[in-house]
A and B are shown apart, each in its own frame.
Chain A
Amino acid sequence: MIDSILAGFALIVQWPTPLYLVGGVLLGIWLGAVPGLGGVTGLVLILPFTFSMEPAQAFALLLGMFAPITTADTLSSVLLGTPGTAGSQSTVLDGYPLAQKGHAERALGAAYTVSAFGGVFGGLMLLLFLPLAMPIIMMLGTPDFFLLALLGLLMVGSVSGASLAKGLGAAAIGLLRSQVGFPVSSPTPRYWFGEVSLMDGVPLVPVVLGLFGIAEMLRLSLRDSSISSVPRGQAEGGGLLDGIKDAFRHRWLALRCALLGTYIGMLPGIGNAVADWIAYGHAVQSAKDKSQFGKGDIRGVIAPESTNNAVVGAALIPTLVLGIPGTGAMAILLGALLIHGLTPGRMMMTEHLDLTVSMIWTIVNANLLAAGLLMLWGRQFARAAFISGHLIVPAVLIFLFMGAWLFAADLMSWYMLLGFGVVGWLMGQAGWPRPPLVLGFVLGKIMEQSAVLAIQSYDLPDFLSRPQTLLLAACVILFLIYATWSALRTAKAVSDNPAQEGAARNPWLSAAFGAAMLALFVWALVQALDWSLYARTMPLIITVSGICIFAFTTVSDLRRAAAGAYQGPLIDAPWRTLVFFGLLLAMVLSAWWIGQMAAMVSFVLAYLLFIGRVRPLWAVALYALGTLALLSFVYADVLNVRFLRAHLW
């Protein structure tokens, strides 16, 4: 084994492999930092260039690019309140409030430290578990996946803010969204409105980018200030070194979350989008003082960032050892193995062990290099929190819309992004927390699929004879009791931060939102009644639960409203909000007529001139030209994006 470790190291230091590794890391940092790009885009982009390379060089480039993405995506989560990738969704919850307090550098310092740790840990676990992987992966079956997903869903209390009922309601909305498209083992799609784009379900990218990204950009735009509400010189204790110290102070949390990420990463089909939330929930549940979560608790950054980097190395285990890719990115890496004439399985642990070990070295080095580079540049990046929000908003919105377009190049993805942006804003205004919606959305499909498969594959005695299933079921029950007690206790504390998820807002608006959801769920219930058994079971459970929750919240809100419990406005800055969404809608609708690039550049110009009132005019023109250059060069030429052309002329 020592020989293989040395041989693997020799492979990655052999020139020009280090060059590919560094190139990959730089590319990965860019792909992670820009919301909506991410690992799959990068792998698609560079895979053809690796066809003619030696295998070690090819995987140095591929994994060098892929491994640090979950490190770099923290930038967007912390600075913009928008998850850079699906693996850093929960980082937003405390990372962005830290940036708003002027502690962006601290959040980034902590995140990079634990990301490097998690990445190295995941890589070492890959090395350690290679020979033992098979029994560990095979130990958990579909009933256990269901229970694991259920355990994740129970984290809803941890991300609901002040109102558990609204958190449950938001989770129900997410669960219902997850039911769109083909059900498990039935040939008729659900809730798809005859729209082909919805046949495979609502995609995650527009949901997350819309709910968080667009809503946060609106909020930033309305503030007429920088992301940080504290001037740069006055943000005490918010430096990079403070973050590194935080990471060491909470080292056991980082270790537990890295272990969690390693195990979840090994399970095919679960992935980063789930691990991230489970880690955050664990951080909240295991903390003695929970009062700062959602307002800028550094532990809310450390937990998911340690986990999501550990997932990457661990996810390679089933791919390399069993030839079973758990995620889309792993499917591409599996393809890369085949292209290079490598067969996943035992050969990777015998004949090609040196190459397998070189991949581990690549992951370890890429994580360390990326964290080091990001630390070096951290101060510069963190400055973004102190510049005018109006200079950030249009650029980020262009990235968000291009992210949705990259995911699915049709206007439906833009409609969905904008639609979820409105939903995200409305939920914020009405005091409904958004994270449970994402949690329900991510877990709904996994829960339904694993439940249906488990029912088909196992009988009741089988369930009862599986110790791992019984153990997980016990965990679920215990956690349910603890989470309920904990959430009820938290709910008693009145939120003092109106920007916090689920903070108390105007009860009339909240009641209207609840009533609208009630109507939606009744409609969804009626639709589901005629479907086949497996197709309707999950929607029935979700809709009936949702109807009860929304009836309760609507009545509660109406009571609060009647009691005059809230004196604030119905909606913050309604006219400016209308103009903001109006400009975005104009961009989306005009894209078909005047072409996508022209629509986006026009939006940027209109935003800077009329909302941001940016001056001098030459700076506005320069900004618009920069946008055009970005779209033409980066997206059209490098990423091969097909833009919608003009249909008016």
Chain B
Amino acid sequence: MQVVRFNLGAIAASVMVCSLAAPASADVDFSGETIEIVFNTGPGGAVGLSAQVAAQHLGRFVPGNPEVIAVPMPGGALLRGIQYVYASDPDGLTLGWLAWGGSTRVLDPEALRVPFHEMGILGGLATQWVTHVRTETSTGSVASVEDFLALPSIRSGGIAPNVSTDIRTAASLELLGIENAYIGGHTGGSDVLAAMRRGEVDLRTGTVSNYLTTVVPEMVETGESLPLYYWGQPTEGGEVASPALDNLPTFYDFHVAQVGQAPVGPTYDLLRYLTRTSDGLAWLFAAPPGTPEEIQLTLAAAYAEMVEDPEYIDAITRILGTAPEPVLRDEAIAIVDEVRNVSPQILETMRAFIDRYAR
């Protein structure tokens, strides 16, 4: 099969040359301009809606109060929008609000990889994922965590074996010693939820937003589902607890409480890596490579101001179901660098999980 190479390096080089040749403006002012925030999913859904909310509020914090619009650019397994932003003029007028998926894209063929570190990183948002199980599964009833751990196997539902959440679900089940009868191929999170409600899958991992707004009132409170754990941001010797999920344990705490020891080994290393890089920076806010530093700093500062704004927080909280977890520029750059420098052992473990569940 012929592969048309997407030569990001060449595009970046030409873009950078152009930007170096242009005289740098001392005062960044976007008066009268329109900034496009391109998001790489279809409209609707958390990515699109959060991009629209950002577009609605960001202009107030950018010098010159430009108009800001959100533009969907789905397709290409989320790559089309990323490539579009990457190749856009580095003038600060085209920005990306990207479900970047960098943590697993490191396994993509060379021609499809995106050098995110070359982009002008401005910030992002973090998220969390909650794993919950049906109380009536194909292999038995689950009234308690103990019942869950006693199951010989569980049908976990997912989208594709190379999706970060599906890999982590598989890794978590392996660490807990439960056989994962993976059912992949659903079109999205709500499709897996529908399958779970029909009894076609027993276990699912959904966003904290989906968990709080739909799963808790519709499935947990009605006794249809039992929440298990969420992956907290990794720290030295554990995982950080989330205030939004104070009734649930992190996976680390869950493992310690149920298995009697801390999770360790390459599988847990993979879990930590994916949680740090996928959840720690779920959506990346970035400018094209070669965007002048002062524009980057101006836009990053505007973003940092916006995420503290009560109006923005109120609007985004309605979508996420919980207060947003903003990631500022330096932290986002650090996470992008972690992905770039991921260890070969983690890559190998990740590849093994993908191969195991690919059908």
**Interface 1/0 per residue, B1-32 and A, CB below 8 Å:** 11111100000000000000000000000000
Indicate whether A47 sits within 8 Å of B43 (C-beta atoms), given known contacts A193-B4, A196-B80: yes
* B185→A456 contact, CB < 8 A: yes
Q: Does A16 contact B (CB under 8 A)?
A: no
On whether the beta carbons of A338 and B55 are closer than 8 Å, the reply is no
On chain B, the number of residues with a Cβ less than 8 Å from chain A's Cβ atoms is: 65
Chain B 179-208 interface 0/1 with A at a Cβ cutoff of 8 Å (1 = within):
001011111001101110111110000000
Question: Is B327 interfacial (CB-CB < 8 Å)?
Answer: no
User: B358 near A341 (CB under 8 angstroms)?
Assistant: no
- A199-B201 CB under 8 A given contacts A48-B56, A452-B185: no
**Does B45 make an interface contact (CB < 8 A)?**
yes
Point out the residues of chain A lying under 8 angstroms from B321, CB to CB. Answer: 338
Bound Cα distance from A408 to B73, whole angstroms: 7
Q: Complex formed: what's the CA distance from A51 to B319 in Å? A: 12
Most buried by B among A43, A193, A338: A338
Give residues of chain B (33-69) contacting chain A, Cβ–Cβ below 8 Å.
36, 42-45, 48-49, 52-53, 55-56, 69
Say how far B98's CB is from chain A's closest CB, in angstroms. Answer: 15
Q: How many residue pairs between the two chains, A and B, have CB atoms under 8 Å in the bound complex?
A: 182
Inter-chain contacts of B76 with A (CB < 8 A): 196-197, 199-200
- A residues 343-375 in Cβ contact with B at 8 Å: 343-347
Q: B181 to chain A: which residues have CB within 8 Å?
A: 456
8 A Cβ contacts from A313-337 to B: 318, 322-325, 328-335
Cα of A48 to Cα of B358 in the assembled complex, Å: 40
Q: Are B56 and A51 interface neighbours, CB within 8 A?
A: yes
A642 within 8 A of B: yes
Q: Check B183–A535 contact: CB distance below 8 A.
A: no
B195 with A334: CB separation less than 8 A? no
Which residues 524-541 of A have a CB within 8 angstroms of B?
Answer: 527, 532-535
Q: Are A344 and B55 in contact (CB under 8 A)?
A: no
Is B151 at the interface (CB under 8 A from chain A)?
no
In the complex, chain A residues whose CB is within 8 Å of the CB of B55: 48
Partner pick for B191 among A141, A203, A268, CB 8 A cutoff:
A268
Contact residues in B for A343 (Cβ distance below 8 Å): 213-214, 217
Complex CA distance for A43 and B1, rounded to whole angstroms? 39
B155 within 8 A of A: yes
Decide yes or no whether A44 CB sits under 8 A from chain B: yes
Are B183 and A456 in contact, CB atoms less than 8 angstroms apart? yes
The segment out of A154-162, A184-192, A225-233 that lies at the interface is A184-192
What are the nearest 3 A-B pairs in CB distance?
A331-B44, A184-B185, A185-B184
Chain B residues at the A interface, C-beta cutoff of 8 Å: 1-6, 36, 42-45, 48-49, 52-53, 55-56, 69-77, 79-80, 83-84, 111-112, 155, 160-162, 181, 183-187, 190-191, 193-195, 197-201, 210, 213-214, 217-218, 315, 318-319, 321, 354, 357-359
| New A-B contacts (9) at CB < 8 Å, excluding given A138-B198, A187-B358, A328-B44 | A40-B43, A51-B315, A142-B195, A200-B75, A323-B210, A328-B42, A338-B321, A449-B187, A456-B155
Identify 17 residue pairs between A and B in the complex whose beta-carbon atoms are under 8 Å apart, listed by A's number.
Answer: A43-B43, A44-B43, A141-B199, A185-B161, A194-B2, A331-B44, A339-B315, A339-B318, A339-B319, A343-B214, A345-B217, A346-B218, A347-B217, A409-B73, A453-B186, A456-B155, A457-B155
